[in-house]
Amino acid sequence: MRSSSDPKAGQSPGTGQPDWYRRAVFYEVPVRGFYDANGDGIGDLRGLQEKLEYLQWLGVDCLWLLPFYPSPMRDGGYDISDFMNIHPDLGTTDDLVLLLDDAHRRGIRIIADLVMNHTSDEHPWFIESRSSRTNPRADWYVWSDDDKRWPEARVVFVDVETSNWTWDPVRGQFFWHRFYSHQPDLNYDNPDVEAAMLGIVRHWLDLGLDGFRLDAISYLFQRDGTTGESLPETHALLRRLRKEIDAAYPERVLLAEANQWPADLVDFFGQGDECQMCFHFPLMPRLFMAVRREQRFPVTEILSQSPEIPPTCQWAIFLRNHDELSLEKVSEEERDYMVAEYAKDPRMQRNLGIGRRLAPLLDGDRGLAELLVALLLSLPGSPVLYYGDELLMGDNVYLGDRDSVRTPMQWSPDRNAGFSKGDFAQLYLPPLMDPVFGYQSVNVEAQQRSPSSFLHWMRRMLQVRKSYLQFGTGGFETVDCANPSVLAYVRVPEAHGQSGVAGDAPLTARAEVGPAVQPGAPESPGLPESRALPESPALPESPGDPQSPVLCVHNLSRFAQPAWLDLVRWAGRTPVELLGRVPFPPVAGGLTHMTLGPHGFYWFELVAESALHPEPALEDL
Ligand code: GLC
Ligand code: CA
């Protein structure tokens, strides 16, 4: 067993696939909410390890763990009081190493949140910094005699904070913070702060983490007369960070969290020398807007405003996450519309957004959820799933802040949703118990048993996505269609030689990382006995030709729709539907007609004539 003190800890899995993240499906896990192995009411790292088998069965490639560091937990752990350790509720560094080893053996990578922008006010650095104006860490944070500087910088948490400055009676000065007033911002104009952060990065990469989600990364610097967002100094720091990582840690990924417009977001990719990935924030609310308006325009408009990205980079796209459905990057009119449609009860609103999960946002409409997931899995980018959304889990809007969407994972109809053997009163948050989304009706056990469940559907969709690399690395061409409710596009295979991924064999994702688990090989301690997990209804053989374009057609309307698609460029090819492998009539010279059911969608491989009727082999003659 590797331990945190083992000098070999953190060796890269070394798979020779430096851009694995372009084809990966990500899954966001709050460790606290996933599975409680020691029965104290709080999910932990050992519990997550016990559930790796489930995640492998589901077919995800990379986990993103919410902050696991010691913290007073006043902002879900984003208020860190010690960057070098694990929160005692969640386990130990050795538990993390065991988890990483086990995940890597299963072909699953793990990245974690890193909060570079700020710390908790309980962090020893801040306690020292505030203690006087002359201590060694006096300028590790941003201090001022007044609260007048940088008025252009907006307040992010407008529902709680009124200023980015807070008076500290100990030091007798104001300190700067972009988020809660208990989260002072670090001062990156001080090179010692950057050096300390690089040490932290190395510490976790040495243990084997596959990368970081860089939280609130656009706010690292402040400059007069600016909003303090995405300044050149921030990008220069990211380039230094990337260089350090590339030099010593191959195949790691940096994922930027920056709630910005597309034109500013692409700056986080740099020239391919900053973050490899970046969340596409403006796309998310527009997906929800498009299906409610039953019009593709919100989505096509934002995509047309999204500049090309460097070939080794990738968008991270998502429907829901641990925060509110952010409405920062929409117009005021659009915000009013979204709130009126999706947050009818004011208790559903959080900050500038909506504190709800996928299923309740859609009033539990499974067909609509399938449509949104189909878009998530086929639009350009790597999809990031939020734990529990594969079950269509619900939320609890009566819980404070964003806890509405952070309730325990629902494993079974047993006590505490099968999440914990502790007493109900000990649980970090109550599981959902309402008749619609409560754990009695929505849970992993029941859905694994039912072949027609959303969970099995999701698993099949992930399998299909994986057999077509085009979804991850292919180009994107919209298909003209006069019906505004229909969104159609083709994912065109990446040209050979581009960004070093051409020729990747499809369907090898499971074998991508580290040595596969050998049958009979001893498993790491703490692993539960392997149970046979249910198979999903079989998919027809899908060779998934990496050279075929894939046509995706989606009906955003709740009514059946006709679609005349301009597929002239693909004339002669035969659309073969991906879930059933059923061939449709070949694409002819004019417009192609298709009928779509309410919220219906089709994905087709556009198979060339020669692939359908190959030349007979010599020995067959
Ligand atoms: C990010 C996190 C959010 C947190 C904030 C402040 O936006 O996603 O949960 O509250 O940073 O750290
Ligand atoms: Ca626990």
Residue minimizing CA distance to atom 3 of ligand 1: 323
For residues 485-512, one letter each, b for 16 or more C-beta atoms within 10 angstroms of the residue's C-beta and e for the rest, the string is bbbbbbbbbbeeeebebeebebeebeeb
Per-residue HEC secondary structure of 554-595 comes to EECCCCCEEEEECCHHHCCCEEEECCCCCECCCCCCCCEEEE
* Residue in the structure block whose two tokens are 């299923």: 359
pLDDT at 16: 79
Decide: 274 in ligand 1 pocket, CB within 6 A.
no
Mean pLDDT, to the nearest integer, of 195-202? 98
Residue 237 has pLDDT above 90, yes or no: yes
Kindly state if the Cβ of 75 falls inside 6 Å of ligand 1. yes
DSSP H helices, 343-487, are: 358-361, 366-378, 444-449, 454-467, 470-473
Per-residue pLDDT at 539? 65
Contact partners, residue 83, CB within 8 Å, separation at least 6: 69, 119, 200
Within 8 A by CB and 6+ apart from 505, the residues are none
Task: Please tell me the distance from the alpha carbon of residue 613 to that of residue 104, in angstroms, as a whole number.
Answer: 41
CA of 215 to the centre of ligand 1 (A): 7
Mean pLDDT for the chain overall: 91
Highest-scoring range by mean pLDDT, 8-22, 193-207, 515-529, 604-618:
193-207
Q: Which single residue is written with the structure tokens 């970046």?
A: 278
CA distance 158 to 352: 8
> When comparing pLDDT for 612 and 487, which is higher?
487
Distance CA 469, CA 544 (A): 8
Confidence of residue 619 (pLDDT cuts 50, 70, 90): low
Give distance in angstroms: CA of 497 to centre of ligand 2: 48
Would you name the residues annotated as active-site residues?
215, 257
- Out of 29, 64, 78, 119, mutate this one to test ligand 1's pocket (max ligand atoms within 8 Å of CB): namely 78
Model confidence at 15, pLDDT cuts 50, 70, 90, reads low
What region does 530 belong to: left with phi over 0, alpha with psi -120 to 50, or beta?
Answer: beta
Residue 76 Cβ inside 6 Å of ligand 1? The answer reads yes
Q: 364 φ, ψ to 5°? A: 70, 15
**In this structure, are residues 605 and 576 in contact, taking their beta carbons and an 8 Å threshold?**
yes
- Type of residue found at 433: M
Q: Tell me the best of 29, 158, 215, 284 to mutate to test the pocket of ligand 1, counting ligand atoms within 8 Å of each CB and taking the most.
A: 215
Average pLDDT over residues 495-502: 40
**pLDDT grade for 54, boundaries at 50, 70 and 90:** very high
| pLDDT tens column, 260-276 | 999 999 999 999 999 99
pTM of the model: 0.92
Q: Is residue 66 within 6 Å of ligand 1 at its C-beta?
A: no
528 versus 313: the higher-pLDDT residue is 313
Three-state SS string over 83-117 comes to CCCCCCCCCCHHHHHHHHHHHHHCCCEEEEEECCC
Tokens (6 digits) for 42: 């709080």
Contact 149, 223 (CB under 8 A): no
Confidence of residue 620 (pLDDT cuts 50, 70, 90): low
- Per the listing, tokens 């003659």 go with 621
Task: Report yes or no: 115 and 80 within 8 Å, Cβ to Cβ.
Answer: yes
CA gap 349, 380 in Å, rounded: 29
Closest among 434, 373, 374 to 404, alpha carbons compared: 434
Query: Residues 218-232: pLDDT tens digits?
Result: 999 999 999 999 999
Closest listed ligand to the CA of 213: 1
Region label for 164, one of left (φ > 0), alpha (ψ between -120 and 50) or beta (otherwise): alpha
Question: Which pLDDT score is estimated for 614?
Answer: 65
**Which ligand 1 atom is at minimum distance from the Cα of 179?**
6
* Least confidently predicted of 568-572, 575-579, 604-608, 610-614: 610-614
What confidence tens digit (pLDDT) does each residue in 122-149 have?
999 999 999 999 999 999 999 999 999 9
Specify the amino acid at residue 90: L
